[in-house]
Amino acid sequence: MDTVLIYVIVGVIVLLGAIAYGVSLIGGRRRTVEREAPPAHPGLPAEDLDRQPPGDSTDTVAPPERPGAQATVEVVPEPEVAPAPPQPTIERPASARGRLQRLRARLARSNSSIGQGLLALLSRGKLDEETWEEVEDTLISSDLGVEATMELVESLRTRVKVDGATDEATVRGWLREDLLALVQPEMDRRITSTRVGDRPAVILVVGVNGTGKTTTVGKLARVLVAEDREVLLGAADTFRAAAADQLETWGARVGVPTVRSDKDGADPAAVAFDAVKAGIEEEVDVVIIDTAGRLHNKVGLMDELGKVKRVIEKQSEIDEVLLVLDATTGQNGLQQAKVFSQAVDVTGIVLTKLDGTAKGGIVVAVQRQLGVPVKLVGLGEGPDDLAPFDPEAFVDAIVM
């Protein structure tokens, strides 16, 4: 009996030892597999494998062919994304207010023949008839015009006769007063650039070839943007191949869109019509239409300009017709102005190249010829060298 009990106890002990040995073998094999085989998803913890989203095939793992073999991971590269094109830098021009005063020195250099020449003559002390003839010649050569010259000389003669003084300071004061009167500071030189009722203001820019008309339109857009106006440009100069490109470049620099034709030689009236229509639909403040340069003595071209004006007026009034004149052309520019005014009812003058060999008297002459004011002057080639005309700053530059 005792012997049987001993055999049973020994058997149980052996059985328990066998079970323990078997369990240890199984546990060691699991640890070996876990060390040798990487997780099925690179970068994903083993405990998160069950939470891997279904259908995720970004990384493909080849299963091992036999236990303990290294798994092969094939990484699919992400497609290259093309870099976004750089956004154009939009310039913010400084306000044009007071710009002519800042450019006085440049303006004075172009008008020294008036101011300095007259002061030298009138300050001689003795003003005989020969001296007064020289004064007249100086004024006429400055493009002041015969009528305005006679008025100025008569006023100066009277002042000298009454006062008797001819010192430079006194003469400078007289000259400033009389020139300012001739420039007519009371003229309204504002440019309509705000919405009129439920439509934008419309500005038509005209002129002969070579006056810098398209450049002037671009500079005018900058002036208006500086005054917080929403501007749209119309490239109705369809005959010069580069005109639309040039205008579009000017506009893009200040964030102003340009309406243009896709083909050269398109009907300029149609482009102008489309530009005004777009301005109405987009509710901008002002639409500026650039037109082709044309010789004032070519009847057909002037008639075409009249057609552009009539087509625009089918959907909107034209608030401004600005005539661009080259200030260096002198009296020839006056004849151009007269013909253009007859064709399209000019409301204002833009004098370009006034910083060159121009004579300041052209301001007085052209205003008298047309009865409309000089509203803008170009004093250089820089993008912000177009200035609203200021009569006092202009005269001060002449007699400084």
Asked if 171 contacts 389 with a C-beta cutoff of 8 angstroms, the reply is: no
Residue 385 marked ligand-binding: no
The answer for residues whose C-beta is within 8 angstroms of residue 210's C-beta and 6 or more apart is 293, 326
Nearest CA to 96 among 378, 398, 395, 381? 378
| 212 in a known ligand binding site | yes
Tell whether residue 354 is among the known ligand binding residues.
Answer: yes
Taking alpha carbons only, the member of 14, 64, 57, 58 closest to residue 39 is 64
Q: Which string of DSSP letters, residue by residue, matches 75-128? A: EPPPPP-PPPPPPPPPP-PPP-TTHHHHTHHHHHHHTHHHHHHHHHHHTSS---
20 known ligand binder = no
Task: Confirm or deny that 138 is annotated as ligand binding.
Answer: no
Task: State yes or no: 294 annotated in a binding site.
Answer: yes
Question: 333 among the known binding-site residues?
Answer: no
The dihedral formed by the CA atoms of 217, 221, 227 and 231, expressed in degrees to the nearest 10: 120
Residue 51's CB: how many other CB atoms inside 10 A?
A: 8
Please compute, for residue 305, the number of CA atoms within 13 A of its CA located in the half-sphere on the CB side: 29
CA angle 176, 179, 184 (to 5 degrees): 120
Q: Which residues pair with 235 in a beta bridge?
A: 290
Residue 32, annotated ligand binder?
no
What is the C-alpha to C-alpha distance for residues 257 and 121, in angstroms, rounded to an integer?
53
290 labelled binding-site residue: yes
Q: Does 355 count as an annotated binding residue? A: yes
According to the annotation, is 2 in a ligand binding site? no
**Does 347 appear as a known binding residue?**
no
Is 293 annotated to bind ligand?
yes
Q: Is 214 annotated as a binding residue?
A: yes
CB atoms within 10 A of CB 145: 22
- Pick out the residues of the known binding site for GTP: 207-214, 290-294, 352-355
Tell me the binding residues: 207-214, 290-294, 352-355
